[in-house]
Amino acid sequence: MQRLLAASRSLDVAITEFPTDSDLFSSSQVLDAFVGHDQMVDADAFLGRDCFQMEAYRSIVLASLQGRTVRFDTLPPVCPDKRLDRIRRFITLLFMEQAHEVWLEQREREILVMPYEAYVEG
């Protein structure tokens, strides 16, 4: 069995030139075609989940605020999966705070969301 396996090995490959950028690019295209990259779907689609649309969450937050402070828990859901929606809502709020659109404040066990202008003025 060992002799059979040893006889089936391919010969050594000697690389005499370094590949150029165009060689690497074309190799990448060949590999993508080989594995069917064009037909691949992202993980959310594969798992049957909707994709995270941060802009949808942002719109809901801004519509809910209307110049006043609201509790995080009172923001309406976008996604039917409650746990996933809560995570996405929080991530969106973190980005919105970084962009100075909202201000987040934690009071005991609840998170308050307020327009950034209200925080700066107050």
pLDDT tens per residue across span 28-67 = 777 777 777 676 666 666 666 677 889 999 999 999 999 8
How crowded is the C-beta side of 77, counted as CA atoms within 13 Å? 9
CA gap 116, 122 in Å, rounded: 10
Alpha carbon 107 to chain centroid, angstroms: 29
One-letter amino acid of 106: Q
Least confident of 30-34, 35-39, 82-86, 98-102: 35-39
Q: Are 68 and 113 in contact (CB under 8 A)?
A: no
CA gap 122, 119 in Å, rounded: 5
The tokens 């309406």 sit on which residue?
76
Sheet holding 110-115, edge to edge: 70-71, 110-115, 102-107
pLDDT grade, residue 121 (50/70/90)?
low
One-letter amino acid of 82: K
Query: Range(s) for CATH 1.10.10.580 in the chain?
Result: 52-121
Better-predicted residue by pLDDT, 20 or 41: 20
Please tell me the pTM assigned to this model.
Answer: 0.59
Where in the chain does DSSP place strands (E)?
70-71, 102-107, 110-115
Which superfamily is assigned to 52-121 in CATH? Structural maintenance of chromosome 1. Chain E (1.10.10.580)
